[in-house]
Structure 1
Amino acid sequence: MMYLTIAVLCSVAVSVLLKVLRQKNIDIRQTIVAGYPVAFFLTWVLLKPEISEVSTLNDEWGIIIALGVLLPAVFILLGRAIEAVGMVATDAAQRLSLIIPIVAAFLLFGEVLTGMRIFGLALGFLALAALIYRSQPADVSKQTQLTPLWLFGVWAGYGIIDILFKQVAKHGTAFPLTLFVSFGLAGLLLFIYLLVTRVRWQGNALMAGLLLGALNMGNIYAYVRAHQVLSDSPSIVFTGMNVGVIAVATLIGVGVFKEPLNRMNILGLLLAIGCVAVLFLT
């Protein structure tokens, strides 16, 4: 359970870091671009991808390019969502992205959808609706109006990334190599974008990127190792990861950052936990 605990803490720590950076008006895009060389290096050291097999990627390059664009984009959306609605609802929406690959498996890949899974999916959509609910005053700001879009972007982005990784794995490409190449491409594309837009570089944003890259890779490595150690109980790992992140993020968001939660949001959190439990324990 040590690796699972580390994975949960690293995942929540990413959200905490992004929230703090937003509060200090630090350019998160620069933090993200500085984090990719760290994640790239740690992937090489910890997961030991077979670099010589890059030439065998072939048809998978389309998926890897999509990952190169989506990986930094979803981090930016994550920061926006945390700023708009807080880390509690944002992390819950991120965890509920598991709905997307399950729906895709049914609609695109011919898997059978059982009654219990339909019930779990229904709980997930109800949870999303409850999480984005905000009682709005008459003079609604533009940022408040965009709140559902940021949360939807986080939910959809992580769900699509999950599908892409699953498709690459089905084509026989090793996960470490895919991650290695995708990290490198993501960092390069975002760096080029920042150069083209002539961003004014911030030293503190770049330094924070070192921590972000380490936390991101720590989350991935610990999660992979948890699956290896608990290979006979994958549902425990998946459920523990998702429910654990929601629980810890709620404790920190409400206890430390004093994030407000209305009754509908609390109901959404409970529905999210129920959704995860139903989908991965049935």
Structure 2
Amino acid sequence: MHYLILCILANVGIFLCFRQFKAYGLNTFQAIVFNYITCVGTGIIFLGDSTLLMEINYNKPWVIIGIVLGLIFISTFYLMALTTQRFSMTVSSIASKMSLIIPVIISLLILKVQSKEYTVFNYFGMFMAIPAIVMSSFKKRGVEGSDFTRLAILLPIAVFLLGGLIDSSINYTSYHYLSETVEPIFPIVIFSSAAFIGIISMMVSGQRITLGNFIGGAILGAINYFSIYFLIRTLSYFNNDGAVVYPMLNVGIILLSAFVSILIFKEKLSRLNQTGLLLAILSIVLLSFEELLALLF
């Protein structure tokens, strides 16, 4: 259970970093690239036995999945940063963590895998996801000092969709391909891929590297690595039952992010935003209340 708590804290730490990047005037994308470079270094250091890296074989499915996830990770991370900076930590956390709906829908409609008999409450929870994101994100006045536009709402929705793809991929890979030996190596593959893509993008765009971006990215990278590592360890602890893990994890992240936003950064939520926040929490609880009750009792 302590891995779950650490995972919640690490995820909120990521949103805090995004929030501070704007405050310190850092280049968000450049910091994110350095973040992934740091993730690779952190992963290798805490791996202990470097010979385990020999397990990386490009013929293995989990390695290929990790490489593809690198592209999705850096794209999603950048969109999460923009959402945090243009809206708030609360909106970004809701958009990214409501994504647990996506793996459920994919299992039902595409993979035709149903691990339980879904009730009307479960389906109601699924359908509440998008309204919750829209309501929590809506602003009557400017986003970044300008009038709120319809295009702005696409940021949290994109984070929601890509976050769901990431959750589905990690859960699927953890269940089918990851042994305890390669669990710490899988994040290294993902982060190496994301770092490589980011470095190429920086070289093509000719960005000038600054010390501030490097330091900001390094701090974010250490937190980011452990957010994924603790997630994998949490899934392993709960026998890879994502239906139990993701509701507890995501509700915890949403609540703590909202608390930090309001208490520390004095971010104000309108009644519509507050309703969206409550709707997001209710949606997650309705989707998985059977598993949560079973865990408690």
TM range (shorter): 0.7 to 0.9
Q: Which runs of 5+ in 1 are unaligned?
A: none
Separation in structure 2 between the aligned mates of residue 224 and residue 166 of structure 1, nearest angstrom: 8
Judging changes above 3 Å, is the alpha-carbon distance between structure 1 residues 182 and 226 closer, same or farther for their aligned structure 2 residues? closer
User: Are 1:258 and 2:266 matched, yes or no?
Assistant: yes
Separation in structure 1 between the aligned mates of residue 148 and residue 46 of structure 2, nearest angstrom: 40
Report Cα offsets for 1:131-173 as digits up to 9, x if no partner. 2322247xx9377543211111211111111222234345525
Separation in structure 1 between the aligned mates of residue 112 and residue 177 of structure 2, nearest angstrom: 20
User: Are 1:87 and 2:89 matched, yes or no?
Assistant: yes
Q: Which residue of 2 aligns with 1:78?
A: 80
User: Are 1:160 and 2:168 matched, yes or no?
Assistant: no
Count of equivalent residues: 280
Q: Which residue of 2 aligns with 1:114?
A: 118
Separation in structure 1 between the aligned mates of residue 240 and residue 163 of structure 2, nearest angstrom: 26
Deviation at 1:125, TM superposition (A): 2.6
Separation in structure 2 between the aligned mates of residue 168 and residue 226 of structure 1, nearest angstrom: 14
Q: Which residue of 2 aligns with 1:186?
A: 194
Judging changes above 3 Å, is the alpha-carbon distance between structure 1 residues 165 and 236 closer, same or farther for their aligned structure 2 residues? closer
Report Cα offsets for 1:181-200 as digits up to 9, x if no partner. 12111101101110110001
Q: Which residue of 2 aligns with 1:125?
A: 130
Contact 2:100 2:247 in 1 (8 A): no
Normalising by the residue count of structure 2, what TM-score does the alignment of the two structures yield?
Answer: 0.84
Deviation at 1:43, TM superposition (A): 2.6
Q: What code does the residue aligned with 2:251 have?
A: V
Judging changes above 3 Å, is the alpha-carbon distance between structure 1 residues 73 and 232 closer, same or farther for their aligned structure 2 residues? closer
Q: What code does the residue aligned with 1:101 have?
A: P
User: Are 1:210 and 2:214 matched, yes or no?
Assistant: no
Separation in structure 2 between the aligned mates of residue 234 and residue 65 of structure 1, nearest angstrom: 22
Q: Which runs of 5+ in 2 are unaligned?
A: 291-297
Contact 2:43 2:188 in 1 (8 A): yes
Q: How does 1:125-144 map to 2 (within 5 A)?
A: 125-136=130-141, 141=146, 144=149
Contact 1:238 1:280 in 2 (8 A): no
Deviation at 1:260, TM superposition (A): 2.1
2:113 alignment partner, SS class: coil
Judging changes above 3 Å, is the alpha-carbon distance between structure 1 residues 270 and 190 closer, same or farther for their aligned structure 2 residues? same
Deviation at 1:279, TM superposition (A): 2.0
User: Are 1:220 and 2:225 matched, yes or no?
Assistant: no
Farther-moved stretch of structure 1 (151-160 vs 234-243): 234-243
Report Cα offsets for 1:18-39 as digits up to 9, x if no partner. 1111122210111111111221
Contact 2:140 2:148 in 1 (8 A): no
Q: Which residue of 2 aligns with 1:39?
A: 39
Separation in structure 2 between the aligned mates of residue 142 and residue 67 of structure 1, nearest angstrom: 34
Farther-moved stretch of structure 1 (128-137 vs 265-274): 128-137
Judging changes above 3 Å, is the alpha-carbon distance between structure 1 residues 73 and 127 closer, same or farther for their aligned structure 2 residues? same
Normalising by the residue count of structure 1, what TM-score does the alignment of the two structures yield?
Answer: 0.88
